């Protein structure tokens, strides 16, 4: 039996590149992934940028412009499996700040997903991203927003802060209520387990608690972000070591992301 050398080469390309692919929650389309890997479909960052600018303008004329932006995000993730984070984050940021102030999108789960993608692209700055979204008035009535925010604090074992975010969800009348109650029960169970295993550990980082309550930093207008030159005005809380330093870099387009 003879072997097709072209197929072997394509298989080798696939295995050579697969470790560079950024995982997606919903997975990737197999046909798109194979085209990207085997160079059948080659799209440059410049082309992706032009496509975004074009669709952003066209979306203004549509009844549901956010739908077009969600389609673009899905398209980008499929065609750039490695993530292209330094190019992707200005796009995500632009979408969020463009639509978060529109009444029809203030509590749209599609916009929440884009905020979370922005946070996922910067795990070091995920807390700052969520705080920024909240200050912009976005997703305030969505239980999933507060649950994800709480889970970020749980992942670094800041239990009191995790609890506060779920309490904030109740205060803001976020829905569905049963998701908040379920998340609260799971959080208290995790805290009990942690206390049993490490009875001497405090529930939170006291230094962080002091700083987040006592200080706010107001940014003046910054130079453009990344390739697309978006310049936001943001108000953020101080945070634990590393969190805001990476968010400063994110805003300024500096290395270290």
Identify the pLDDT of residue 9.
52
pTM beyond cutoff 0.85? no
Asked if the bond preceding 214 is cis, omega within 30° of 0, the reply is: no
Three-class SS state of 100: coil
The C-alpha atoms of residue 12 and residue 7 are separated, in whole angstroms, by 9
**For the residues 219-230, what does the mean pLDDT come to?**
40
Q: Does domain 125-257 have CATH number 1.10.760.10?
A: no
> Which one has a higher pLDDT value, 12 or 199?
199
* 127: nearest Cα among 78, 102, 161: 161
Whether residue 217 has pLDDT greater than 90? no
The C-alpha atoms of residue 107 and residue 116 are separated, in whole angstroms, by 14
* Residue ranges of domains in the chain: 125-257
Percent helix, strand, coil in the chain, to 5, is 65, 5, 30
* 156: nearest Cα among 56, 240, 93, 218: 240
The C-alpha atoms of residue 194 and residue 110 are separated, in whole angstroms, by 34
Q: How many residues make up the chain in this entry?
A: 257
Three-class SS state of 50: helix
Three-class SS state of 223: coil
Contact 231, 94 (CB under 8 A): no
Report phi then psi at 231, rounded to 5: -125, 100
pLDDT band at 33 (very low <50, low <70, confident <90, very high): low
For the chain, give the mean pLDDT: 75
Identify the pLDDT of residue 124.
78
pLDDT band at 210 (very low <50, low <70, confident <90, very high): very low
Report phi then psi at 223, rounded to 5: -70, 165
- Highest mean pLDDT: which range of 17-21, 126-130, 174-178: 174-178
**For the residues 144-156, what does the mean pLDDT come to?**
97
Report phi then psi at 190, rounded to 5: -65, -40
For the residues of 6-29, what is the DSSP string, one character each?
HHHHHHHHHHHHGGGPPP-TT---
Identify the pLDDT of residue 158.
94
Whether residue 197 has pLDDT greater than 90? no
**For the residues 171-183, what does the mean pLDDT come to?**
98
The C-alpha atoms of residue 121 and residue 228 are separated, in whole angstroms, by 17
| pLDDT (tens digit per residue) in 39-70 | 445 789 999 999 999 999 999 999 999 999 99
| pLDDT (tens digit per residue) in 66-103 | 999 999 999 999 998 877 888 898 999 999 999 999 99
Euclidean distance between the first and the last CA atom of the chain, given in angstroms as a whole number: 50
């Amino acid at each position: 039996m003879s072997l097709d050398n072209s197929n072997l080469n394509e298989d080798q390309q696939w295995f050579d590149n697969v470790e560079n692919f950024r995982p997606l929650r919903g997975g990737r389309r197999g046909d798109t992934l194979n085209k990207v890997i085997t160079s059948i479909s080659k799209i440059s960052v410049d082309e992706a940028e032009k496509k975004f600018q074009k669709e952003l303008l066209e979306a203004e004329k549509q009844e549901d412009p956010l739908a077009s932006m969600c389609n673009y995000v899905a398209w980008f993730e499929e065609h750039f499996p490695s993530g292209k984070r330094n190019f992707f984050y200005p796009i995500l940021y632009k979408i969020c700040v463009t639509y978060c102030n529109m009444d029809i999108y203030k509590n749209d789960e599609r916009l929440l997903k884009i905020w979370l993608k922005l946070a996922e692209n910067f795990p070091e700055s995920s807390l700052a991203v969520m705080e920024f979204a909240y200050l912009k008035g976005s997703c305030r009535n969505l239980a999933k927003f507060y649950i994800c925010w709480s889970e970020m604090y749980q992942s670094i074992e800041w239990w009191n802060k995790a609890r506060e975010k779920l309490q904030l969800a109740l205060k803001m009348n976020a829905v569905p209520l049963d998701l908040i109650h379920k998340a609260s029960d799971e959080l208290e169970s995790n805290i009990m387990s942690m206390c049993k295993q490490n009875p001497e550990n405090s529930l939170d980082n006291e230094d962080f608690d002091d700083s987040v309550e006592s200080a706010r930093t107001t940014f003046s207008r910054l130079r453009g972000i990344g390739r697309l030159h978006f310049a936001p005005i943001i108000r953020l809380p101080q945070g634990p070591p590393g969190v805001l330093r990476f968010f400063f870099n994110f805003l300024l387009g500096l290395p270290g992301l």
